[in-house]
Amino acid sequence: MKSCERYPWLLSAVVVLTACEGTSNPAPTAVALQADLVHAEAAPASAARRAPVFKMSAAANVGRELFFDKSLSASGKQACATCHDPGHAYGPPNGLAVQVGGPSGKALGTRAVPSLRYTEYTPAYADLLDNSDGIAEPAPGGGYTWDGRVDSLGEQAKIPLLSAVEMANKSAAEVVAKVRAAAYAPAFLAAFGPRALDDADAALAKVQLALQSFQTEDASFHPYNSKFDRHEAKLVGGTFTNAEERGFQIFNDPEIGNCTSCHFPNPGVDGSRSMFTDFSFEAIGVPRNPEIPANRERGYVDMGICGPVRKDHAYVPGRPNQFCGMFKTPTLRNVATRHSFFHNGVIHSLEQAVRFYNTRDTRPELWYPTIGGTAKAKPDADFPRYGLVTTQYVGGVVQKFDDLPALLQGNIDRQKPLDGRAVASAEPMTEDQLDDLLCFLETLTDDYEPGKTASAPRCQN
């Protein structure tokens, strides 16, 4: 079977990435480069790494080497796998809000690092993307990164390679020089041709393609082996406990959890896989995170689609902009393994994230700063301690939605459970329902082994 038949995405990836190549050496056509991928001898995988489930293309094998290569960073300490750790569902291995990088390995970024798992069906960004739930009106959706500014994994891979706060290479030439010096350089040339490293821009495009091919072809990026997957396939060991089943109903109930409004468990293109995202963008008013150095600058505001990183919908101070505050909805697969949540990593546990949804409007003082109040020396016994704010105030004004200018707060989504209900009114979920929802979300964790992977005690009833 030809590679283009086994991996139909490779041809589209080639078309995207060869368009970016330099012109000092004419770039090969998509057909010619595809031929290189089909006929080149596969490079051997490093013995220190897990062998792929099935034979990958030569480009993907090179991509594996690139993905784990720390020498590609200016510091020599950071590879793709440093922030996208395969042992942590290709997400960060720690609870930092943002990861460290840069030339010295000490610079902090501005956004949390998402997982690279389950990205294969991500559509290109569109201001009016058809919503996969078949109900909601077309709205901003698709693309990679928190603001959707690139449309392929290959384009995304270029960002950290050249970012001053990540791998911190100053140019394509700097990246390519490191590839030339790497032990896998012969495999790179075998995959892409004997002159593949001659021109820096064209070679960087092939680096991007190799990384994209690895992420697309290696099954560890999309194992689909959670308890939920066994449940959907009606396999042995996939039976939900009562708590997990109740949690699934709460997840789907538009009057309670309403999680499906954004994390719709829609099938992939083959009709058989639930992605747990509709690829949409939402503004939910996540609290400002003081852990991010950029946020210490008074005038700095990360507003997602409308900047400051993305430029095509840039915010002009004083003018309304419907895209401001909107960030991409991530998949919920493996969400229970994460240690930081939302685009700025301000939340540090799944329970805290769910409680934010449940009490953002009814108890905003738990999530946003209070100005002008008097702090109690000791909080009342019934004052919740699960929020970001653990000090109880008397009087003062809660600075709700403190990370979005007041003019733009009309962009905040008003779907349940974040429906703007009155302070101190009834919360969307009871404590029991919240616990059940957490139990269901834990079924989305990969590598579930019936009889070996035990549910949390609260989820076993």
State yes or no: pLDDT of 444 exceeds 60: yes
* 53 pLDDT above the threshold of 50: no
pLDDT bucket at 54, cuts 50 / 70 / 90: low
Q: Is residue 448 part of a domain?
A: no
Give residue 266's pLDDT: 58
In a domain, 235, yes or no: no
Q: Indicate whether 194 belongs to any domain.
A: yes
- Domain for residue 173, yes or no? yes
CATH number, domain of 110, equals: 1.10.760.10
Q: What is the pTM of this model?
A: 0.87
Q: Which has the closest alpha carbon to 290: 97, 157, 90?
A: 97
Q: Is residue 370 included in any domain, yes or no?
A: no
Please identify which residue in the block is written with the tokens 């010096």.
181
**How many CA atoms, within 13 angstroms, populate the side-chain half-sphere of residue 228?**
23
User: Is residue 379 domain-resident?
Assistant: no
What CA–CA distances, in Å, run from 185 to 28, 177, 181, 333, 417?
Answer: 19, 10, 7, 35, 52
What integer pLDDT is reported at residue 456 of this predicted model?
86
Q: What is the dihedral of CA 144, 148, 151, 155, to 10 degrees?
A: -60
With a pLDDT cut of 90, the percent of the chain lying above it is 80
Question: Tens of pLDDT along 13-42?
Answer: 333 333 333 333 333 332 233 333 322 222
Number of domains in the chain: 1
pLDDT at 403 over 70: yes
CB 67 within 8 A of CB 211: yes
Look over the chain and give the mean of its residue pLDDT values, rounded to a whole number: 88
User: Mind listing the pLDDT tens digit for each residue in 167-213?
Assistant: 999 999 999 999 999 999 999 999 999 999 999 999 999 999 999 99
- Flag whether pLDDT at 83 surpasses 90: yes
When mean pLDDT is compared across 13-22, 272-281, 326-335, the lowest value belongs to 13-22
For 58-80, give the DSSP string: HHHHHHHHHHT-GGGSSSSS--H
User: Is 99 part of any domain?
Assistant: yes
Helix (H, G, I), strand (E, B) or coil at 33: helix
- Is 147 a member of any domain? yes
Residue range of the domain that includes 115: 3-221
